[in-house]
Amino acid sequence: MKIRIGYELIYDCPQPTPMILTLSVHFTRASDIIIPDYLFTDPPVPITAYRDNYGNWCSRIVAPKGQIKLFTDALIRDNGKPDKVVQQAKQTPVENLPDDALLYLLGSRYCETDLLSEIAWQLFGKASDGWAKVEAICNFVNRHIAFGYQYARPTKTAWEAFQERTGVCRDYAHLAITFCRCMNIPARYCTGYLGDIGIPPPNSPMDFAGWFEAYLDGNWYTFDPRNNTPRIGRVLIARGRDAADVAISSTFGPNTLVSFKVSTDEVNEMRST
């Protein structure tokens, strides 16, 4: 399967504005890329790149005064399989976790483990360990939060999403991540492309998606409490503790996001007989 992915973001800046952009496909998918997702800008500006502390590929620019368009149009190969389900995956005791997984047990900007720990143990303390516990957490979050773009705000935390019972995909992920960490299961936030391959088209415009990965039995597995079903064609961009680590843009000056478009579509290939 081949998937065409891309974005077009237009910012209006009243003055030259430095930006950090996390928009590139994750290095773990490098071998799948057919047409690279190079970052283009209009007007053209110098671009430098670096790896952040989580291994994500980030770009640095200084947007000029006025409008700037950021865009890409890429093609990636995908195995066409849904997210892996491993019901027998067990929970790893904290004392046996690898050092690099321990960070994902701790509270972070949007995941307040201190506020939700007691609630988590009340809700999930009796659930079977391992995959079943993460599944129970996802089922609860999926039922607990009502989805709606009108409920989105950049400052909403897991605690607030739990209290308000509304949100978007990142809020579902933040709440599930927090519950997992409270139950001693490392969990990390993911952002990327997720189209409607294999399901009816959504009624809303395409957006970047947020989900999470939980560490079980020596592996990181994908979970998506917003959709709460295995999906096809997920293309990872970045991972981190929460959305603060994987923001598509971090801007250092006043600006307005004028336009935001994301696309991800399966490419239908003609076959000769």
* Per-residue model confidence as pLDDT tens digits over 157-184: 999 999 999 999 999 999 999 999 999 9
pTM across the whole model: 0.94
* Shared-domain flag, residues 137 and 237: yes
* Shared-domain flag, residues 156 and 188: yes
* Shared-domain flag, residues 62 and 116: no
- Residue pair 239/213 in contact (Cβ under 8 Å)? The answer is yes
Note the residue count of the chain. 273
Strands 66-77 and 33-35: antiparallel
* Shared-domain flag, residues 104 and 201: yes
> CATH no. for residue 15?
2.60.40.2250
* Shared-domain flag, residues 113 and 179: yes
Structurally, how many domains does the chain consist of? 2
Is 148 domain-assigned?
yes
Is 273 domain-assigned?
no
Taking 70 as the threshold, does the pLDDT of residue 127 lie above it?
yes
Tokens matching residue 146 = 């009502």
**What ranges in the chain are assigned the alpha helix state H?**
113-124, 131-144, 158-164, 169-182
* Shared-domain flag, residues 75 and 114: no
Amino acid letter, residue 136: A
Mean pLDDT, residues 38-62 taken together? 97
Is 87 domain-assigned?
no
| C-alpha 107 chain-centroid distance | 18
* Shared-domain flag, residues 257 and 234: no
* Shared-domain flag, residues 239 and 132: yes
* Shared-domain flag, residues 229 and 98: yes
**Can you point out the beta strands (E) in the chain?**
2-13, 17-21, 33-35, 40-42, 48-51, 57-63, 66-77, 146-147, 166-167, 187-193, 209-216, 219-223, 235-240, 249-251, 256-267
Q: Can you give the residue range of the structural domain that contains 113?
A: 94-243
- Residue pair 57/48 in contact (Cβ under 8 Å)? The answer is no
> CATH no. for residue 231?
3.10.620.30
What pLDDT digit, counting tens, does each position of 16-36 carry?
999 999 999 999 999 999 999
Is 25 domain-assigned?
yes
Q: Secondary structure of 167-192 in the HEC alphabet?
A: ECHHHHHHHHHHHHHHCCCCEEEEEE
* Shared-domain flag, residues 110 and 239: yes
Is 199 domain-assigned?
yes
Number of neighbours of residue 11 by Cβ within 10 angstroms: 20
Q: What is the mean pLDDT of the chain?
A: 95
Strands 235-240 and 249-251: unpaired
* Shared-domain flag, residues 32 and 63: yes
